[in-house]
Structure 1
Amino acid sequence: MKLSPLHWWDELKRFWLLYHLGDSRFRFMWDEPPPDEWVALDCETTGLNVHRDQIISIGAVRIAGDRILASQRLELLVRPSRAISPDAVRVHGLRERDVAQGLDPDAAMMRLMRFIGSRPLVGYYLEFDVAMVDRAIFPLLGMGLPQRKIEVSAMYYEYKLRQLPPYRHGASIDLRFSTIMEELGLPERHAHDALNDAVMAALAFVKLRHLLKQS
């Protein structure tokens, strides 16, 4: 079968990345993902600087079709090597003594990568979470997460834009997580808890997939 230029380039990139992979045990992340499966991901951190701060909590849950697989979830505390900023504690409530018995960061990343597999990632403000994870796994793999990333706020923006008449396409759309959940009629859990935030992102993703198909 002849490959299209785009597919050929993707395969070449995949080969190059696998060739340079630091730990061959994680080649499975480049496999074809299971059909209609995703992983919603959220992290809490020592602060908001992606170059300096560290992950202290990870929450993830698998999605299959229209179902959020609550029994297939991951909830980890991670022991950081730097102090948690007071501002961060006020947001997520995790103090240094709360994570002192957490996993070593490398062990936590290995568990996370095995949980994700090759499934695409879903999240709210996912770019930040992925940047934090990528920095943590780079010493292990020599590269970041290869999975496709799906931003819930971008899906919501597209959905709301479709509801507006063309002359209002420049209108401001509120992309706060609480607004998205309220507008979609979805239940809100306690925010800034990694697993709760992952589950809420999963709920929003499933609902928005349906709405975007219908609109």
Structure 2
Amino acid sequence: MFKRFLRGRERKKLTNPDYDFLFDDVHDELVSFDCETTSLDVKEAEILSIGAVKIRDNQVLASESFYVLVKPENPMEAANISVHGLRPKDLSDGIPVEEAVKQLLAFIGGRELVGYYLEYDVAMINKFLKPMIGIKLPNKQTDVSSLYHRWQGKENIHDSYVDLRLDSMCKKLGLNDLPRHDALNDSINVALMYLLLKRRLGLR
């Protein structure tokens, strides 16, 4: 009841009614999404790419995916190129970040969001979203690291340490890890992990 009240209050803050669809209840689908950025500091980071994929009926819908390259405002550093494999010329045809966010919103709608350390990715989107439409993402959110920690807590009752590195989590779950630091691949990895963890935890 309280969450519904908060959503209603946020809805009233929406400055562009064209985005009212973000408050639609979509119960049969989720979206796994990921941002590749220039830094882990939300205040200074720029988005380089955004990837997302839909989950429906316990299946990852790779055919219903989303991927955009974003043209950064500042010059790329060598460290970013080595991590993401995205060179300045790769991003020269990228779209402005505001357009990328608009396209992402159209893709996710009111669906629940899934991610790995999702708080960071959501904060990156919100940094640009709030000035655009007056609100932050209102979507329900599930972090696979929290699900994994919950699962391991049940499996290893005598060991409080849980390795939450993505590659370690994939290995423990027997998941073939797709090439990392690619926004779409990371989204697909996380979507598969979500379904595996849901099954291990007996969640619907």
**TM-score, length-normalised on structure 2?**
0.94
Is the counterpart of residue 93 in structure 1 residue 85 in structure 2? yes
CA displacement at 1:210 relative to structure 2:
0.5
CA displacement at 1:54 relative to structure 2:
1.2
CA displacement at 1:48 relative to structure 2:
1.8
Q: Pick from 167, 172, 185 the counterpart of residue 196 of structure 1.
A: 185
- Paired with 1:38 and 1:81, the residues of 2 have a C-alpha distance of 31
- Paired with 2:155 and 2:198, the residues of 1 have a C-alpha distance of 15
Spell out the pairing of 1:34-53 with structure 2 (5 A cutoff): 34-35=27-28, 37-53=29-45
SS for the counterpart of 1:213 is coil
Is the counterpart of residue 23 in structure 1 residue 16 in structure 2? yes
CA displacement at 1:17 relative to structure 2:
1.6
Residue 76 (structure 2) aligns with: 84
| Structure label with greater radius of gyration | 1
Residue 112 (structure 2) aligns with: 120
Residue 150 (structure 2) aligns with: 158
Residue 59 (structure 1) aligns with: 51
Closer/same/farther in 2, CA of residues 164 and 91 from structure 1, 3 Å limit: same
Could you tell me which amino acid in structure 1 is paired with residue 180 of structure 2? A
SS for the counterpart of 1:144 is coil
Q: Percent identical across equivalent pairs?
A: 36
Residue 3 (structure 1) aligns with: none
SS for the counterpart of 2:15 is coil
- Paired with 1:31 and 1:151, the residues of 2 have a C-alpha distance of 21
Residue 99 (structure 2) aligns with: 107
Q: What runs of 5+ residues in structure 2 fail to find an aligned partner?
A: none
- Paired with 2:162 and 2:44, the residues of 1 have a C-alpha distance of 32
8 Å CA contact 1:125, 1:151 repeated in 2: yes
Q: What runs of 5+ residues in structure 1 fail to find an aligned partner?
A: 1-6
CA displacement at 1:83 relative to structure 2:
2.5
8 Å CA contact 2:10, 2:138 repeated in 1: no
- Paired with 1:11 and 1:43, the residues of 2 have a C-alpha distance of 28
Closer/same/farther in 2, CA of residues 10 and 161 from structure 1, 3 Å limit: closer
CA displacement at 1:11 relative to structure 2:
3.4
CA displacement at 1:100 relative to structure 2:
1.3
Q: Pick from 26, 31, 35 the counterpart of residue 33 of structure 1.
A: 26
Is the counterpart of residue 73 in structure 1 residue 62 in structure 2? no
SS for the counterpart of 1:17 is helix
Q: Pick from 136, 143, 150 the counterpart of residue 144 of structure 1.
A: 136
- Paired with 1:172 and 1:152, the residues of 2 have a C-alpha distance of 17
> What CA deviation, in whole Å up to 9, does each residue of 1:140-173 have, x standing for no partner?
11121111111111111100110123xx25x211
Residue 202 (structure 2) aligns with: 213
